[in-house]
Amino acid sequence: MIPENFEYTAAATLDQALGLIAQGAKPLAGGMSLIPMMKLRLATPDRLVDIGRLGELNYIREQGGAIHVGAGVTHFEVESSPLLRGKCPLLAETAAYIGDVQVRNMGTIGGSVAHADPSADYPAALQALEARIVLKGARSQRTVAAADFFEDAFVTALEPGEIVAEVIVPVEADGTGVSYQKMLQPASGFAIVGVAARVPRSGGRIAMVRIGVTGLANRSYRAIAAEKALEGKAGSASEIQNAAALVPEGVDANSDLHASAEYRRHLAVVYAARALAAALARTA
Ligand code: FAD
C-alpha cells in the first residue's frame, strides 16, 4: 500500500525540528512503526520532520552516575554499545531481543518509547531500571519517570510539540544480576509477554529487586507485589515461584489472536520466574 501524500523535511538541527513539530509536523525517526502505519492508512500525517539523522540525538554517554541515551540511538547501537553492555547490561540485552537485524539497524530507542506499543520490549527494562525520560519542546524540557510515562496502549505523557529527547538509565552496581525473558510472537518478534528482572548483589538475602513487565496489559508496569515478596528472602526456587505468581495479580490482561488473557497471565508467571532465576544466578 502507498501512504497518502505528505510533506517531508529532513531537519538539519534539533531546534529546526522542534520548531516544525510545534507547528504540527510529526517526527519520523527509524520509520519502523510509523511508515507501516502510514501505508495501512492508520496514520495520515500531512507533514513529517525527519529527526532520525540528527547528530544531536545520537549519543550514549555516562554522566553523573547515570547513562544518557539520545533518542536517535538505534536498537543495534544500544545492543552493541560497550558502555551499556558493561554498565547497564539489561538495556543492551533487551535491545538484542527486538525484531530482526534490519529493524534493529533502523529503529530508535526514542521512536520505540514514544510509540508505546503495549508489546514493545524496552518498556519492561525501563520500568525495572526506574529509567527517566527527557521530553523536549521548542521552549521546554522536563523529565518524567518511566513509571509515569507509559500511560496506556500507544498513549504516553508526551504533550503536543514535545519529543522524547533522551532516556536516562542507572549505572549498575558491580555484581547486579539482570535478565530479560520474553515469549515472542514468531512473525514479528514482539513480546506476547516480556519480563525484565534486576537484582543487586547483597550477600545472602535479597535486599532489593525490580521487575518490569510488558505485553501482558495495555501498559508496561512494575510488579511491586512480586518485588516485595522476594525482598529479604534467599531466592530459593519456591520463593521465586511464589513471587512470580504475583506478577499478573490485579492486572487487566490483554487478549488477542496470539494469546488469550488467561494464557498471557500464565506466561507472565513462567517468564517472571525465568527472569528472576537468571538474574539471581548472575549476581556473582
Ligand atoms: P518511527 O516508526 O519513526 O516512529 C514511531 C512513532 O513515534 C511515530 O508516531 C513518530 O512520530 C514517533 N516518534 C519517533 N521518534 C520520536 C521521538 N524521539 N519523540 C517523539 N515521538 C517520536 N519493537 C519491539 O519492541 N520488539 C520487537 O520485537 C519488534 N519487532 C518488530 C518487527 C518488525 C518487522 C517491525 C517493522 C517493527 C518491530 N518493532 C519491534 C518496532 C520497532 O522497535 C520500531 O523501531 C519502534 O517501535 C519505533 O521506532 P522508530 O525509530 O522506527 O520510530
Per-residue model confidence as pLDDT tens digits over 195-251: 999 998 787 889 899 999 999 999 999 999 999 999 999 999 999 999 999 999 999
Q: Which fold is adopted by the domain 7-49? A: 3.30.43
CATH class of 176-281: alpha beta
Q: Which of 6, 33, 97, 156 to mutate to test the pocket of ligand 1 (most atoms within 8 A of CB)?
A: 33
DSSP tally for the chain: helices H, then strands E: 12, 14
| Between 56 and 175, residue with greater pLDDT | 56
CATH class of 58-170: alpha beta
How far is Cα 19 from Cα 12, in angstroms, rounded to an integer? 12
- For the stretch 15-53, pLDDT in tens is 999 999 999 999 999 999 999 999 999 999 999 999 998
**pLDDT at residue 34 in the model:** 97
Residues of the chain with CATH 3.30.465.10: 58-170
**pLDDT at residue 1 in the model:** 77
- For the stretch 103-159, pLDDT in tens is 999 999 999 999 999 999 999 999 999 999 999 999 999 999 999 999 999 999 999
Verify whether ligand 1 is closer than 6 Å to residue 30 (CB atom): yes
Which residue shows C-alpha cell 519492561? 124
**pLDDT at residue 201 in the model:** 78
Neighbours of 1 (CB within 10 A): 7
Residue 89 one-letter amino acid = P
Cell of 124: 519492561
Instruction: Give the predicted TM-score (pTM) of the model.
Output: 0.97
- For the stretch 180-194, pLDDT in tens is 999 999 988 999 999
- The number of the ligand 1 atom at minimal distance from the alpha carbon of 188 is 32
Residues of the chain with CATH 3.30.43: 7-49
Which residue shows C-alpha cell 538475602? 205
Closest residue by Cα to residue 240 from 199, 191, 201: 199
How far is Cα 114 from Cα 130, in angstroms, rounded to an integer? 17
- For the stretch 12-23, pLDDT in tens is 999 999 999 999
How far is Cα 226 from Cα 243, in angstroms, rounded to an integer? 5
Q: Is it the case that residue 2 has pLDDT exceeding 90?
A: no
Verify whether ligand 1 is closer than 6 Å to residue 31 (CB atom): yes
Q: Dihedral through CA 141, CA 122, CA 171, CA 221, nearest 10?
A: 80
How far is Cα 165 from Cα 137, in angstroms, rounded to an integer? 9
How far is Cα 105 from Cα 187, in angstroms, rounded to an integer? 18
**pLDDT at residue 203 in the model:** 78
pLDDT, mean of residues 78-107: 98
Verify whether ligand 1 is closer than 6 Å to residue 235 (CB atom): no
| Between 201 and 73, residue with greater pLDDT | 73
Strand partners, 145: 132
Q: Which of 98, 166, 182 to mutate to test the pocket of ligand 1 (most atoms within 8 A of CB)?
A: 98
Residues of the chain with CATH 3.30.390.50: 176-281
Estimate to the nearest angstrom the gap between the alpha carbon of 169 and the chain centroid: 11
Residue 86's pLDDT band (boundaries 50, 70, 90)? very high
